[in-house]
Amino acid sequence: MTACITGVGLVTPVGLSREQTWQSFLNGTSGIGPIQGYACAEEVVQIAGEVDASFEQHFLDQIQLPFARRFGRFTQLALLAGQEALQHSGLDLEQEDRSRIGVAMGVGGGATHYLDPVRQAMDAGDVNLFVRSLDHYFVIKTMFNAPAGMLTIQHGLQGPSTMVSAACASGSMAVTTGLDWIRSGRADVVLVGGTDSTVNRETIQAYWKVRALTDQNQLGAAACRPFDQDRAGFVMAEGAGLMVLESEQHAAARGAKVLAKVAGAGMVSEAYKIATPQLDGVGMARAMIAALANAKLPADAISHMSAHAPSTPQGDMAEALAVHHAFGKHASKMSVTAPKSYIGHAIGASSAIQTALLALSIERSLQIPTLNLDQQDSAIDLDVVHGAPRPSKDEFAMVNAFGFGGHNVSLILGKA
């Protein structure tokens, strides 16, 4: 049983909406540049993928909720993308049984930057500053379940709701949760996706210390280089990607336009290391094989892949090997793209953004090219789309997400 994607909402470093983001990807526009959110001239890492500075006012103009400016940034990103996804779907909530509409959201880092003033006050031993830094909005800003909770409140959605935290696989795991709810009959419609805002000094420094981030600041927009021989780590980013999932019966009954279908999902744990994948790709391959089994599809049904491809030396290589493990001889016949080359890695939002983009790619018969692939690593034997968008007739495509802790998720989307 499949679930239908009928609406998409996106807020990314290259656009405050679905269409702005899509056009930026088609035009080869990068959202990576010098960090604007805090002074970083003395920091090792000085680049990131940040949502445009106009976001805050745009959010307040679009979201009519009390105290909206007091929500955490990762919640604000989710609310804007969620509202767009629902509008895009054409759902008339006034005519719907809202007890049958759920929310499943993913988040990785959340709101760590709100802790910085608190830590500074504690380190200084300033009790008064400590008390002032903890206002009555602090819990609302920082609680991980705020995006899901506020989406249900904003739209009056009374079905099941949850937040999933599985590092870089959070968004895909939330999509899987929504698919399971629809398959089990727990809900007819689920608003699914991921959100994160981790462009802050603490998080970036921490990821750099585990050798995940590139410090090639001088490359600017060209610093994120998936599958390239000179890749040196990923670029931290922020954003949100949300989708409306519906059962086939519900979508058909209201005559909804279906963008793509979620045909299957594979979830596995590598049970290996916290921040390093199995270098032979076997752990990643198991997620892809599980997704094929869940969708009841042969390997040669998949013609395109949106790769996790964070631009790390080990991660990209392991994923390339995993594709060959999972698909055998068919691996060389599949096209592959790496969306993080445009916007960086938005942790809990990344795979949701990629899934939303893949749904648009399938609907519009156009594959997104990979940026900054000047010289593909000779050891990576994949057909990586680059240079220009590639026309396609993809019936089924896969999107991968592999998170710290060994949370591996592969989703299969199909043409409507």
> Which residues are annotated as catalytic?
168, 308, 345
Which residue spans within 270-340 are E strands per DSSP? 304-306, 335-337
Backbone region of residue 154 per phi and psi (left: phi > 0; alpha: psi in -120 to 50; beta: other values): alpha
Comparing C-alpha atoms, which of 268, 339, 327 is closest to residue 302?
Answer: 327
Distance CA 216, CA 268 (A): 33
Distance CA 130, CA 124 (A): 9
Which residue spans within 64-134 are E strands per DSSP? 101-106
- In 10 A of CB 274, how many CB atoms? 10
What contacts 381, CB < 8 A, 6 or more positions away? 320, 324, 331, 332
Comparing C-alpha atoms, which of 195, 93, 110, 90 is closest to residue 152?
Answer: 93
Distance CA 172, CA 415 (A): 18
- In 10 A of CB 52, how many CB atoms? 16
**Helices 73-89, 55-62: crossing angle, 10 deg rounding:** 50
Contact 319, 139 (CB under 8 A): no
Both structure tokens of 296: 């009841």
Output DSSP code: residue 257: P
Contact 256, 70 (CB under 8 A): no
In terms of C-beta density within 10 A (0-12 exposed, 13-18 middle, 19 or more buried), how is residue 26 classed? middle
At 281, which amino acid appears?
G
Both structure tokens of 16: 């405050």
Helix (H) or strand (E) holding 141: helix 138-142
Q: Which residues pair with 236 in a beta bridge?
A: 345
Place of tokens 């696989």: 169
